[in-house]
Structure 1
Amino acid sequence: MPEKKTVERAHAAKRAGKSPSTQAGAFVKEQIDHIREGKHGAKSAKQAIAIGLSEARRSGVSLKAPKKGAASAATRKKAAKDTQAGQHKRQRSASTESTAKRSATSTRVLKREGSQAASHKALSKQTHASASRRSAAERSASARKGWQTRRKAASKAGATRHAR
């Protein structure tokens, strides 16, 4: 269950017109912080990010599931299920006992993991590996899009300053 401030941060990003991946960033950051605090661990930085993205989808962030070939069928199915859960208010199932058991078990497993996954080195390595899988054109387009967003924000700030 994400913290209230995390959900609010994601909603603020949505209101500001930020992309779904930026909105999901708040949830990923929360998971990284939890691991660093020692609340639970993760096998890798990739797993920590996956937990955050799953939580984001379940909280209503409209993140698409990974494309075919980019992730396993099970991962894509889980992502689609999480998105579905975030879009609708589901009714409680009759098997709340098994759900609670499963939740407790996965929490216990995560508690056994180390906190190395949230280290600066591990996150840097993961980021670098992820970026290297994208083409130069994709990276360039992404940077250009970010620059336009920042330029809009700067010009808006300048306009309000000028109006004052």
Structure 2
Amino acid sequence: MSIKVGDRIPEVPLQRIRDGIETVDTNNLFDGRRIVLFAVPGAFTPTCSEKHLPGFVEHFDAFRSRGIEVACMSVNDPFVMQAWGQAHHVPDGLMMLADGNGDFARALGLQLDASAYGMGTRAKRFALYAEDGIVRELQVEAPGEFRVSSAEHMLELLDATK
């Protein structure tokens, strides 16, 4: 069953690289914060690299000006996420989170079987907005689409709920 609006973000460790590999507990990440988390099926893949991540990079300041933090998550290792962030000039503060084994995607009920493409289990393309660990908006893309999880769409939704 997939997570839905009103649900608490499940507690699962993720990883990122700062001064080394750091484990980030989702409770510590989400509690007491307003965060947009967007997930992509794979770092360095075409739609993810050409549209999804660049949109959040471009609109990063718009989220920050609203007091909202931004995090990107993929079922990749932290080294890939760090390299992908560097390749796309991700600003300081935009968190690049690795869900190496797909545990978080599974806990959210938003995993994707991409075995037919040689990619194993990944995360569906989605974006969510959470306040203090509670999901307030959730946008999950239909297979092969990129529309509702874009930075632009999430900003529109956040502005509409003011």
Q: Point out the structure with the larger strand share.
A: 2
Q: Point out the structure with the larger helix share.
A: 1
TM-score, scaled relative to structure 1: 0.27
Q: Indicate the structure (1 or 2) with the bigger Cα radius of gyration.
A: 1
TM-score, scaled relative to structure 2: 0.27
